[in-house]
Structure formats: C-alpha cells, structure tokens
Amino acid sequence: MQTVKMVVTGPFNAGKTEFIRSVSEIDVVSTERKISSDFEKSIKEATTVAMDFGRITVDEDLVLYLFGTPGQRRFDFMWEILSEGMLGFIVMVDSTRPETFREARSILETFHAYAPTPYVVAANKQDMKEAWEIEDMRHVLRLDSKVKLITCVATDRDSVKAILLELLYSILSEMENGGK
C-alpha cells in the first residue's frame, strides 16, 4: 500500500478540523481538548492539540492522508514533524477574523521554510456576511498573484474538494515544470 500526505494548517479556529471532516472517509481522528483560556473559549469550546487525521482511499494501492495541525502557537513544535514528507499544504484562513491574518501569513512562511512544496490558501467562512473580500485578503496576507487564494466553506464538501484539486493541479504543474 502506497501512502501520500497533505497538511492542513492555519491559525486557531480557522476551520482545519471541519475541512478534513468534510472529505475524510473515516471519522477524523481528532486530538481535541477542552480550551482552558477564557479568550479562546469565547471562540470555541475545544481545540486540536496535536493533530487531526483524515483518510481518503484512492484505490486498493494508494491512500491519501490529511493531517490537520494544531492552531495554537504553543503547539507549533508539532508543525515540523507534521510537515515531513508532505505532498503539499493548505493554509486555512478565517475570512471573518482579520486579527488572525498576520498569524496566517507567519504560519505560511514557516511551513514553506520547512518544506518548499506547493501550497494553496483557503479563505474559509466565505458564506458568512462579515467575511472579507478575497482580493482584500490577498493584499493583507501579502500573497503574490501567482499564489492560489481560493474561497472556501470548510463544511461544504464541494468547496473542500475544489481546494484539494487546486493543490493537486499545482503539484502536477510543478512536476511538469521540473520542480520536483
């Protein structure tokens, strides 16, 4: 059995666990814990402390694993471990929380430094009325026009599929251009 992996990263509460849950054929093996900080508790009740783990079986010979990273910076010692051997990565950004954009940019740079593999940025929660415009987000996240910044609703399977496909197209394109 051959296996490949992709990493889903991003700041706290960006929607990484939901993203994996939307497409994983197994119940996401989640390492969520009750949140102790009052501030973070006001945003959500539980958070991922080590990793989420989802699986998509391609055929009898190939399996794709999706790893979600913990969003809180104090667990960032896990990032380098999770980034080992990844095919590519997805940076999830909560479009409704501009205060997390700077951290998203920092996470993107950190992962890109760990492994210079292709990546896409998913602007999550675009179905919410307070979501930022995608081009405004590109500007604030300082993303080059070549970087794929794609609208996303992590609870919607089609939306998640579109993100995964864009990342795979980028991987294929880089291989065809001799990047790998």
Partner 1 sequence: MTLRGNLRDFTISQLLNLINLANKTGTLVVEGPSETAEVAFRDGKLAYAQIDQEDGSLASVLHKAKKLSSGQYRSIQQGAAHISDKELGLLLINAGYLSQEDILTNLQQHFTDIIQRLFTWVEGFFHFDNDSLPPDDRISVRLDLENLIIEGSRQMREWEQLQDEIPSLDMALKFSDRPGTNMRKVNLSIEEWRVVSYINPRNTIRQIASATKMSDLEIRRIVYGLLQAGLVETTRLEGASRLVPTVRVFPTEDKEQQKSLVNRLIDRIRSL
CB of 81 to partner 1, least distance (A): 10
Subset of 89-118 contacting partner 1 (CB under 8 A): 102-103, 105-106, 109-110, 112-117
Tell me whether residue 32 or residue 174 sits nearer to partner 1 (CB atom). 174
Tell me whether residue 46 or residue 73 sits nearer to partner 1 (CB atom). 73
Which residues on neighbouring strands pair with residue 62, listed in sequence order? Answer: 2, 59
Bridge-based pairing state of the strands 46-48 and 32-34: antiparallel
CB of 113 to partner 1, least distance (A): 6
Contact call for residue 87 and partner 1 (CB under 8 A): yes
Q: Is 89 helix (H, G, I), strand (E, B) or coil?
A: strand
Tell me whether residue 58 or residue 128 sits nearer to partner 1 (CB atom). 58
Contact call for residue 161 and partner 1 (CB under 8 A): yes
**31 contacts 50 by C-beta, under 8 angstroms:** yes
What's the maximum distance between 2 C-alpha atoms anywhere in the chain?
A: 49
Angle at Cα 9 formed by Cα 27 and Cα 157, nearest 5°?
45
CB contact set of 5 (below 8 Å; sequence gap of 6+): 64, 65, 66, 67, 85, 86, 87
Binding residues vs partner 1 (CB under 8 A): 2-4, 23, 56-59, 62, 64, 83-87, 102-103, 105-106, 109-110, 112-117, 142, 144, 157, 161, 164-165, 168-169, 171-172, 175-176, 180
